Amino acid sequence: MEYLKNGQIHTALTEGYSSEGYGVVRLDGAVVFVPRAVRGERIDLRITRVMKTHALGEIVKIHTPSPERAVPDCPYYGRCGGCDFRHLSYAEELQAKRQRVQDALSRIGGADVQVEEILGAKNPEHYRNKCQYPVGPRGEIGFFQARTHQVVPVDRCLLQPEVCDRTAHAVGSWMKRYKIPAYDEATGRGLVRHVYVRANRKGESLCCVVVNGRKVPREAELAALVLAAAPKTLGVVLNVNTKKGNVILGDQYRTLWGQDFLMDTLCGLEFKLSVPSFYQVNRDQAEVLYGKALEFAALTGEETALDLYCGAGTITLCLAGRAKRAIGAEIVPAAIRDAEENAARNGVNNAAFFCGDAADTAAMLEAQGLRPDVITVDPPRKGLSPEVIASAAAMGPERIVYVSCDPGTLGRDVKLFAERGYRALRAAAVDMFPGTRHVETVVLMSRVKEK
């Protein structure tokens, strides 16, 4: 890397994409990541930063633009950190994501499995049903600039439903009208930290304002302004978060108006969702994702299925419809309460739920002698702990279905499962997050029979 210097200009071919969505260029073996470079384009690039293992660059000139290059359709693209691929055609975005998953499984996981397909979204815009808007220290509402905590004010987002944007800006109007101070993370002072909005298929919404305190002035006026902007609002909730750090939600809630939940339908089932309940943000693609997970689970109606990280019970209840018995585990108490209510509401009587850490719950069930036929896991981005993998493998299920939102940790965990006798047989990607670099994956692992 010594020969690369800041400011140098090189001509090179863009070979593919990094996990961050950057174009990948190689200069005599050195890897350079170039934002907005498109696969197949020959470009002139300027070196902007040299590090030990790679360098960063910027486009100076595109010799022949790729037919897959698109004009970004968002005025905030490049400033807001929400999207990564608005300079690509959707077909090229899907190709980049599929290759990212394949590389993770092969290079990190060491798995000899092909990503069979990537299932794209029919509607790649306004798909999010959960929207989280950070509030800047001067009261600006929008989204963080990439790799910073600087808030870029946004009027309309192509990923969020309009009702969520209207709700967020109503909170901003309330702050401005009544001089409600925004939280300043540098000083720890101020009140309003985030605006959190959920929306369902009917266009109904739930507004949660996250504050650095236990109450705010003019609470009735807040609810009135939110209702005026979004008449189908079902409730306005205050969340208390007085801790420093990046965690959005605190542990305490108080309903200012209406109710603290909304209902939604997924896979033919009805779900009650409170603010902290885990629920896939793209409802339509979640049905595609869960459909693929059920296909890989290959249930016949005679099995016991264990679902770790079950959230509000979405996957668990889908499994219960095809298994003899389904068990869900989740660490968030409110989500477990929602899951139990969701089971009763949908007439599901062959599902049970445990509240606790996934590793502890898996170890407990394994110690009790539970031998599930199928285990499904849908962990957060950090993936599974070694303890969860050990306990899951010790139960000896025939199949493990891993639903992942991060290809890197998925690859790592697939390798750890292989060390415990589980081989990856099938894999498919699902584009849950169009416009962004994120992608969901479903992997089927099967227990290797001893000869």
Return the active site residues: 405
Helices (H), 377-423: 386-394, 407-419
Helices (H), 179-313: 219-229, 283-297
What is the CB-side half-sphere exposure of residue 412 using CA atoms within 13 A? Answer: 10
Helix, strand, coil distribution of the chain in percent, nearest 5: 25, 35, 40
The Cα 238–Cα 196 span in angstroms is: 10
The Cα 219–Cα 234 span in angstroms is: 16
Give the number of other CB atoms < 10 A from CB of residue 335: 24
- Give the H/E segment covering residue 167: helix 162-178
Listed in sequence order, the residues at least 6 apart from 159 whose beta carbon sits closer than 8 Å to its beta carbon are 82, 83, 125, 126, 127, 128, 434, 435, 436
**Burial group, residue 419, by CB count within 10 angstroms (0-12, 13-18, 19+):** exposed
Closest CA to 338 of 263, 290, 274: 274
CB 302 within 8 A of CB 290: no
The Cα 262–Cα 206 span in angstroms is: 7
